[in-house]
């Protein structure tokens, strides 16, 4: 298949989005063909999606044999977490930052997910920062993309 649809993670139909899947390309070359971009250069505005697409594939490989499923989370108030790895009894929210982070930053959306679901762990995948922080019982791991490879 050329594309993969990622469905929302939800528990509360009144507050969380349960429809509108996100589509990721299995082949970025096909994505570039679809948007008629035939050079080496990706526009800065599109770089975030391409990086997120890469992270999606790395997460898919990392969870291929453990029975986990990958989703995203979005509320009707527009809070969004890029990926949620559903491991059955536990979930891991994953935020993707296509930039070099100099310091730990935990956005409103990730804080909202942590408050609502109390996961044991959350990830912030970025270009360079490796660090940890704790919010309540949740350990938040900041790590560079190469650690997913």
pLDDT digits (tens, 9 = 90+) for 57-85: 999 999 999 999 999 999 999 999 999 99
Q: How confident is the model at residue 49 (pLDDT cuts 50, 70, 90)?
A: confident
pTM of the model: 0.92
Q: Which domain holds residue 133?
A: 3-148
Residue 127: pLDDT band with limits 50, 70, 90: very high
Are 145 and 126 in contact by the 8 Å Cβ rule? The answer is yes
Counted domains in the chain: 1
- Among 3-12, 27-36, 63-72, 73-82, the range scoring the smallest mean pLDDT is 27-36
Torsion of Cα atoms, 35 then 54 then 141 then 87, to 10°: 110
The CATH code of the domain that includes 97 is 3.40.1350
- Residue 43 DSSP SS3: coil
13: which DSSP letter?
A: T
Q: Does the pLDDT value for residue 149 go beyond 70?
A: yes
Give the pLDDT score at 35: 75
Could you tell me which of 143, 67, 139, 145 has the C-alpha nearest to residue 110? 139
Q: What whole-number distance in Å separates Cα of residue 35 and Cα of residue 81?
A: 25
Mean pLDDT of 96-101: 96
Average pLDDT for 19-27: 92
Identify the band that residue 40 occupies on the pLDDT scale cut at 50, 70 and 90: low
Model pLDDT, residue 36: 76
Radius of gyration of the chain (CA): 15
pLDDT above 90 covers a percentage of the chain that reads 78
Length of the chain: 149
């Amino acid at each position: 298949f050329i594309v993969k649809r990622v469905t929302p993670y939800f528990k509360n139909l009144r507050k969380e989005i349960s429809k509108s899947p996100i589509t990721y390309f299995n082949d970025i070359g096909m994505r570039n063909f679809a948007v008629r971009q035939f050079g080496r250069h990706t526009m800065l505005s599109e770089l975030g999606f391409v990086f997120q697409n890469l992270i999606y594939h790395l997460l898919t490989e990392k969870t291929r044999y453990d029975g986990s499923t990958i989703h995203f989370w979005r509320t009707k108030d527009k809070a969004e977490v890029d990926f949620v790895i559903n491991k059955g009894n536990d979930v891991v929210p994953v935020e993707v930052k296509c930039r070099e982070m100099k310091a730990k930053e935990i956005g409103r959306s990730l804080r909202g997910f942590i408050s609502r679901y109390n996961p044991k762990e959350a990830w912030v995948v970025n270009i360079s920062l490796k660090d940890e922080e704790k919010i309540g019982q949740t350990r938040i791991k900041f790590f560079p993309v190469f650690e997913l490879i």
